[in-house]
Structure 1
Amino acid sequence: MTTSLNELETQLVALKQEATPAIAKTDTLDQLEQLRVNYLGKKGQLSQILRGMGKLSPEDRPRIGALANEVKEALQQSLDNKRQELQAAQIQAKLAAETLDVTMPGVYKPQGRIHPLNSIIDQVLDIFVGLGYTVATGPEMETDYYNFEALNTPQDHPARDMQDTFYLPDGNLLRTHTSSVQIRYMENNEPPIRIIAPGRVYRRDTVDATHSAVFHQIEILAVDEDITFGDLKGTLKVFFQELFGEDVDVRLRASYFPFTEPSAEIDVKWRGKWLEMGGCGMVDPNVLKTVGYDPEIYTGFAAGFGAERFALVMHQIDDIRRLYTSDLRFLQQF
């Protein structure tokens, strides 16, 4: 029995001497867990040693039990200390990898800006939506019917000469104005209607400081009972006062458009000068008949503006081509 007691004591001391440096040398939490299972697990070395206690006399068992508890507590303390050390090192490594050094210069990312043309269109839409208008859109490739004939401009009409057009091989064309949107909308909606139609349009123009083959139009249309020319002028005055300021004057000069009668050019006095801003007029009865409206019951007005014209005037831009060249030296001013 004495030999068995000494053997167990020797095994417990040897286990402590083996495990303590092994725990201290561990580099990872996974390795540490493997050591815990190897030494203190249910099938670990300490459990195997304690199985020999059954051969001891009753008076020797407490001695071995006390020594086993001492070894177990020592190893458990070593495991806990090493675990805390490894966890702290892991946290420090993560902080070092993810820390933002505020003393270093940041990566510069220039702030985006809305294009001056889009900005003008958005301003105009906001004003008219505030007046109760609905935004309407349509295709940029149109039929001759929607672009001309439905707008009181048959094939032999001299007004077609006013708009040099891009025709396509199938007989369709790139729309020369957004008035075609008005026809499409009226065909599918009954009065009263109030719409604003912004969009890109095309004309076979010679490009220079004030002309472009591709530009943007904004057109309005209102149809209801008892609409008058005075409603048109009042609407235009409110719009331009919102866009340019309360002190602007608006005047209408007699003009001609095939789809309105009477028709007028719109001038705005801004910064002491009269500037032409667009065209307008009362919707021609023939146009109302084309879409199935009774001109004896309904009347309406329409007006059209060039978005580029607004941008040139409001930002004092000297050449329309600057709006299309994507030159950052120009665009960063806005």
Structure 2
Amino acid sequence: MIDKIKEHISEVEKFTADTKDAIEAFRIKYLGKKGLLNEFFAEFKNVPNDQKKEFGQTINTLKINATEKVNLLKEALESKTEEAGKYGDLTRPGEAMALGARHPISIVKNQIIDIFSRIGFNVSEGPEIEDDWHNFTALNLPEYHPARDMQDTFFIQTDPDILLRTHTSSVQVRYMENNKPPIRTISPGRVYRNEAISARSHCFFHQVEGLYIDKDVSFADLKQTLQFFTTELFGKSKIRLRPSYFPFTEPSAEVDVYWGLETETDYKMTKGTGWLEIMGCGMVDPNVLENCGIDSKEYSGFAFGMGIDRIALLLHQISDIRLLSENDVRFLEQFKSTL
């Protein structure tokens, strides 16, 4: 009888199953009310006294092994079921990953960087929290200068000398302080001004400002650079420069591109003139060069600056600037196919 029980122990160790029914049948065979274990326990009274100890130990071994085998098989089956439920049919063809979309600001900024990189401009960056020297004073805007009122500034209350930059010209100042001419750089970034938020303006927006300093740089160089840029970005080759005023350039000008009057939208954007203002520019004021440690008698240069947000509105026919900062997925999904 003991040898028979040992045979069952060996059978239990070898047993395997991958269905719930097979495991249940195995459990009933050994552990059920009419199972083999109960039959062996019933035979205990007929075993000679000198064999009772070994007989009892062998039966217990069979019971323990059968119970553990059932538990292990159930756990393995449950784990397999959970994995199938989690991942589904692993032989099914995979689903294509959803593509993200570039933000229209990033799209336009990358286009501008690409255009200027083709004519030798590198990219420079600087802090958004700036000091008075780099944001104003070095740019020919000393304290109490009335032109400071052109930009309603966010100052840090704990330190009136610290502020949120109002333009990326501060990056140009830092670049001139740390680099010797020739300098040819553009400075994209976010800027802040205390303006009322509406469909056409915001308290923060994005700019790209450019700077070129070398010997014998002229206004003609500036115009040709801007002509190349507007043709590449807008596909419009007709521009005009109108006299204007900026504290850090002299002479200064506003740049208009001829957009045309082909649609009703064109009439609205250009107010019926066909011309659209896109940026400001001018020759770098000698005082700015001297403030940054550059000899204004030996070097000259030009600078320009434009709002990325306004250009994005224009190129993508977006009616409200606030859409650019609301992170509405429905709005952003429209740009999935745009590089």
- Are residues 1:258 and 2:247 paired? yes
1:248 Cα shift? 3.1
1:268 aligns with 2:269: no
1:127 and 1:242 in contact (8 A); partners too: yes
Q: 2:168 aligns with which of 178, 184, 189?
A: 178
Task: Report the identity percentage.
Answer: 54
Q: Output the CA distance in 2 between the equivalents of 1:331 and 1:96.
A: 35
Alignment partner, residue 248 of structure 1: 237
> For residues 22-51 of structure 1, what are the alpha-carbon distances to aligned partners after superposition, in whole Å with 9 as ceiling and x for unaligned?
5798236xxxxxxxxxxxxxxxxxxxxxxx
**CA-to-aligned-CA distance 1:262-304 (integer Å, 9 cap, x gap):** 1000111124421110100000011111111111110100000
1:212 alignment partner, one of 202, 218, 241: 202
Contact 1:186 1:291 in 2 (8 A): yes
What corresponds to 1:232 in structure 2? 222
- Of 174, 193, 203 in structure 1, the residue corresponding to residue 183 of structure 2 is 193
Task: State how far apart, in whole Å, the 2-side matches of 1:226 and 1:254 are.
Answer: 22
In the alignment, the residues of structure 1 paired with residue 87 and residue 179 of structure 2 have an alpha-carbon distance, to the nearest angstrom, of 61
Does the 8 Å CA contact 1:280/1:303 hold for their aligned counterparts?
A: yes
* Contact preservation (8 Å) 1:179, 1:219: yes
Query: How far apart, in 1, do the equivalents of 2:156 and 2:305 lie?
Result: 25
**Corresponding residue for 2:211?**
221
The one-letter code matched in structure 1 to 2:287 is N
2:197 counterpart letter in structure 1: V
* Counterpart Cα distance in 2 of 1:319 and 1:223: 37
Q: Which residue of 2 aligns with 1:291?
A: 292
Comparing 324-333 with 190-199, which one deviates more in the overlay? 324-333
Whole-angstrom distance in 1 between the partners of 2:324 and 2:13: 70
Q: 2:260 & 2:154 partners in 1: Cα distance?
A: 37
Give, in angstroms, the shift of residue 118 of structure 1. Answer: 1.1
Partner Cα separation in structure 1 for residue 308 and residue 331 of structure 2: 18
**Structure-1 residue corresponding to 2:98:** 110
Determine which structure has more spread, i.e. the larger CA radius of gyration. 1
- Structure 1 unaligned segments of length 5 or more: list them: 1-14, 29-91
The CA distance in 2 between the partners of 1:299 and 1:212, in whole Å, is 34
Counterparts in 2 of 1:142 and 1:98: CA distance versus 1, 3 Å? closer
Alignment deviations for residues 162-190 of structure 1 (CA, whole Å, 9 cap, x no partner)? 11011112431111000011111101110
Contact 1:221 1:301 in 2 (8 A): yes
The separation in 1 between residues aligned to 2:277 and 2:249, in whole angstroms, is 18
Query: What's 1:131 paired with?
Result: 119
- The corresponding residue for 1:83 is none
Where does structure 1 differ by over 3 angstroms across 4 or more consecutive aligned residues?
A: 18-25, 95-110
Cα distance in structure 2, aligned partners of 1:213 and 1:21: 80
1:144 and 2:132 equivalent? Answer: yes
How many angstroms does 1:326 deviate by? 1.3
What is the rounded CA distance, in whole Å, between the counterparts of 2:188 and 2:290 in structure 1?
24
Contact 1:248 1:270 in 2 (8 A): no
When normalised by structure 2's length, the TM-score is 0.69
Can you give the 5+ residue segments of structure 2 that lack an aligned partner in the other structure? Answer: 17-79, 262-273
Q: C-alpha distance in 2, partners of 1:300/1:27? A: 87
SS, match of residue 171 in structure 1: strand
Q: TM-score with structure 1 length normalisation?
A: 0.70
**Corresponding pairs, count:** 259
Cα RMSD after superposing both structures:
3.1
* Correspondence for 1:45: none
